């Protein structure tokens, strides 16, 4: 009877754990898709969520409560920076993020305990495996945030030279910097939503009365991209010293293209080393079996049968 219960309970617990992790991953993906519209609303800047009553579903609210209990209602500055650079700007995001981590930890502990406890092994090994089963899912949100930050930086780094070119063309034709900034953000919306969103958010902040230099620094801090920080410094210096904005943007775009070319060459050089590992693990064994296999079979026949 106990064996029958184990055969039913263990697969069911494993299935529920996988389903729970899948639901959490889908929720993160859904929040990423909708963040572009959310971050331009006044409620983000006002620090309130009254403008989004439909987003307060029961499950995110449940995760938010768990996160507030775990973090005592205060998120660290490092966590805020990581979430902002990953594109999650909502005021509830740190609490939901912490709640997801805690829920994954509990699900991992419970699921691993159900799988490990019926097995015959010493108690210390069971405790170690159960701890690992809770720790590994606990760090899944960290990996997701790290991937999101890397993707956003890569997209900005890829499309920023073209955006700077458009900005330089608009400024050279006599359009003001603020109007040119707004036009470029609208133009590249379908090419690079991340860069367009950050430019639109910066323009929105300027319209609210913030200083252009401060807004530029905020944009560089939200993305963590060094290129945007350099662009902000160039625009601030040209505005301060009265130099030509068009010439500065032209030189900056050219330097970014050179840097992008260097990064492509570096990636090509690294690719050879990465391919060696793949060849050793997957290609060479297959080639060895194909070339040496018939000879090995013939030698084995001769040694066994003597023919």
Six-digit token string for 40: 């331009």
172 touches 246 (CB < 8 A): yes
> What is the C-alpha separation between 77 and 73, in angstroms, rounded?
13
pLDDT for residue 1 is more than 50: no
* pLDDT tens digits for range 136-192: 888 999 999 999 998 988 888 888 888 888 888 888 888 888 888 888 888 888 888
Six-digit token string for 116: 């490990």
DSSP state, residue 41: S
> What is the C-alpha separation between 262 and 291, in angstroms, rounded?
40
* pLDDT tens digits for range 210-235: 887 788 888 888 888 888 888 888 88
Six-digit token string for 153: 């930086």
Surface-to-core class of residue 25, CB atoms within 10 Å of its CB (0-12 exposed, 13-18 middle, 19+ buried): middle
Q: 287-297: buried (b, 16+ CB within 10 Å) or exposed (e) per residue?
A: eeeeeeeeeee
Chain centre to alpha carbon of residue 29: 10
User: 3-class DSSP state for residue 81?
Assistant: helix
Six-digit token string for 296: 């090995």
* pLDDT tens digits for range 32-88: 655 545 554 444 444 444 444 444 467 778 888 877 787 777 778 888 888 888 888
Residue 59, pLDDT score: 79
Residue 8, pLDDT score: 59
Residue 92, pLDDT score: 84
Residue 19, pLDDT score: 66
Residue 4, pLDDT score: 45
Query: pTM for this one?
Result: 0.65
């Amino acid at each position: 009877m106990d064996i029958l219960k184990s055969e039913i309970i263990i697969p069911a617990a494993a299935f529920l754990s996988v389903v729970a992790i899948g639901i959490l991953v889908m929720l993160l993906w859904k929040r990423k898709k909708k963040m572009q519209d959310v971050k331009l609303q006044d409620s983000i800047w006002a620090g309130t969520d009254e403008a989004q009553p439909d987003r307060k579903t029961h499950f995110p609210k449940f995760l938010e409560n768990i996160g507030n209990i775990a973090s005592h209602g205060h998120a660290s500055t490092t966590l805020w920076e990581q979430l902002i650079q990953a594109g999650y700007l909502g005021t509830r995001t740190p609490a939901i993020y912490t709640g997801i981590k805690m829920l994954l930890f509990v699900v991992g502990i419970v699921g691993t305990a159900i799988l490990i406890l019926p097995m015959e092994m010493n108690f210390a090994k069971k405790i170690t495996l159960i701890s690992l089963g809770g720790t590994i899912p606990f760090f899944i949100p960290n990996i997701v945030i790290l991937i999101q930050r890397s993707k956003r930086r890569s997209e900005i780094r890829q499309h920023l030279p073209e955006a700077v070119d458009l900005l330089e063309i608009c400024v050279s034709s006599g359009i003001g910097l603020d109007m040119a900034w707004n036009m470029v953000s609208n133009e590249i919306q379908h090419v690079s939503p991340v860069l367009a969103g950050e430019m639109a958010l910066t323009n929105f902040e300027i319209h609210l009365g913030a200083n252009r230099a401060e807004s530029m620094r905020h944009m560089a801090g939200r993305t963590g991209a060094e290129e945007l920080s350099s662009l902000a410094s160039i625009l601030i210096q040209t505005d301060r010293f009265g130099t030509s904005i068009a010439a500065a943007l032209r030189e900056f775009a050219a330097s970014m293209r050179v840097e992008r070319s260097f990064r492509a060459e570096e990636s090509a050089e690294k690719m050879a080393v990465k391919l060696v590992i793949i060849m050793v693990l997957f290609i060479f064994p297959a080639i060895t079996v194909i070339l040496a296999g018939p000879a090995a079979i013939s030698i084995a026949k001769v040694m066994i049968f003597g023919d």
